Amino acid sequence: MSAILQVTLCSPGHLLQIILQDVLISQESFLEKTFPCIDHTHISLLKNRFQNSKGLLKRTHKKTQLQATQLTYLSAVPHQICVYANICAVTVANILAAQISGYKSDRIYSQIPAGLLDHIHIEATPSGYLEFRIGDGAIAQWLTSLTQPIASLFVSAALSSDPVTRSHPNLFSIQHAHARCCSLLRIAAQQQIIGLNWLEKPSHWQWAQPISWLTPISWLTTEQQLHTCHASERQLIRQCFTVLDEIPWRLDSLPEKIQSPSHHSDLIATLAQDLAQAFHTMHRQCQIWGAVQNQGRDRLTAHLALILVTQRLLHGLLQIGLGAIAPAEL
């Protein structure tokens, strides 16, 4: 059986789930004090329901006139509460948005970069949902974390002694994307555009600490928007966060019909293929040694850093998730 993937970095979806559960369940008598009209039996029912993180929120694809699709999450928790309270969902959503906006927790802050929560915008929608918008400042901090030394970006549990032997139809495309990432990073390092710590395996490559003649990562423009602003780059970023949100998986948390090794392997293969396809699209549409390079050093290094993040995620999905080779070159 393939590994149960785990990632050592708290993803946006997991972070928001933890915060919601902390506010709704762990904070002393929050529901009882805020909604006294709900009887004890229904409070207990709600808390039991909120223990299941799957039902707390979901990713959405929201488009604006100024930007490509944003990284946005919606929660229907206000609708679940108003079933038992004589209050409309919009009012409940506004109460929760105010409570979560002022949220503080040493337990949570120890898991994320400092100041990251300041770039997560929370508000009630006119339809009574809670909306969480992950701002470019927060995305930049998460992406930086993915380029820095982490004990092991992926760790595994329930490992089999044998690698996955079943061939996946898109395996070569995934491996090709990983090898192309490695090739582009090697060229950029050889041209002294970026500095990489060339560790034993590509899975451990890290963005080097800034050196006088090497450019550090500058993800954000002076307007605090991502340099990686092309639609295909935004799509690749969203796919990177999808990988983070979808793992770790536990077999006991999966629907019974997909708990078999083959189905579990299919899920990982789908994540890897979608990430590889997003990379291939970006590579075709953003000519790195042409248009991107001509837009300035900061723009170029941010693009290359996104390639490094993609390479690390692909390596984990291939080698740990699928038991397949993650080639550094083809």
Residue 116 and residue 208 in one domain = no
Residue 271 and residue 317 in one domain = yes
Token pair 């039996």: residue? 41
Residue 311 and residue 180 in one domain = yes
User: Which range marks the domain in which residue 131 is found?
Assistant: 4-140
**DSSP code per residue over 270-304:** HHHHHHHHHHHHHHHHS-IIIIIHHT-HHHHHHHH
173: CB partners within 8 A, 6+ apart? 273, 276, 277, 280
Q: Are residues 169 and 272 in contact, defined by beta-carbon separation less than 8 angstroms? A: no
Residue 85 and residue 187 in one domain = no
234 domain residue, yes or no: yes
Residue 293 and residue 181 in one domain = yes
Q: Are residues 307 and 177 in contact, defined by beta-carbon separation less than 8 angstroms? A: no
326 domain residue, yes or no: no
Residue 151 and residue 118 in one domain = no
Residue 67 has a pLDDT of 52
Rounded CA gap, 179 and 221, in Å? 30
205 domain residue, yes or no: yes
328 domain residue, yes or no: no
Residue 161 has a pLDDT of 40
pLDDT in tens, the chain (330 residues): 345 677 777 788 888 888 899 889 887 789 999 999 999 999 999 999 998 777 799 988 765 544 555 789 999 999 999 999 889 999 999 999 999 888 766 556 566 666 788 888 999 999 999 999 999 999 998 898 888 766 667 776 644 444 444 567 889 999 999 999 999 988 888 888 887 765 556 655 666 554 444 567 889 999 999 999 999 999 999 999 999 888 765 444 444 444 445 557 888 999 999 999 999 999 999 988 888 889 988 999 999 999 999 998 998 899 888 889 889 888
Domain final position from 140, 165, 184:
140
Domain final position from 96, 113, 140:
140
Residue 287 has a pLDDT of 87
Residue 176 and residue 123 in one domain = no
Residue 149 and residue 275 in one domain = yes
Instruction: Determine the length of the chain.
Output: 330
104 domain residue, yes or no: yes
Residue 1 has a pLDDT of 38
232 domain residue, yes or no: yes
Residue 90 and residue 163 in one domain = no
22 domain residue, yes or no: yes
Q: Maximum Cα–Cα distance for the chain, whole Å? A: 67
72 domain residue, yes or no: yes
Q: Is 134 helix (H, G, I), strand (E, B) or coil?
A: strand
User: What is the number of domains present in the chain?
Assistant: 2
* CA nearest neighbour of 143 among 318, 5, 306, 255: 306
Domain final position from 96, 114, 140:
140
Identity at 133, one-letter amino acid code: R
Residue 74 and residue 152 in one domain = no
Residue 103 and residue 222 in one domain = no
Residue 237 and residue 272 in one domain = yes
Rounded CA gap, 66 and 60, in Å? 17
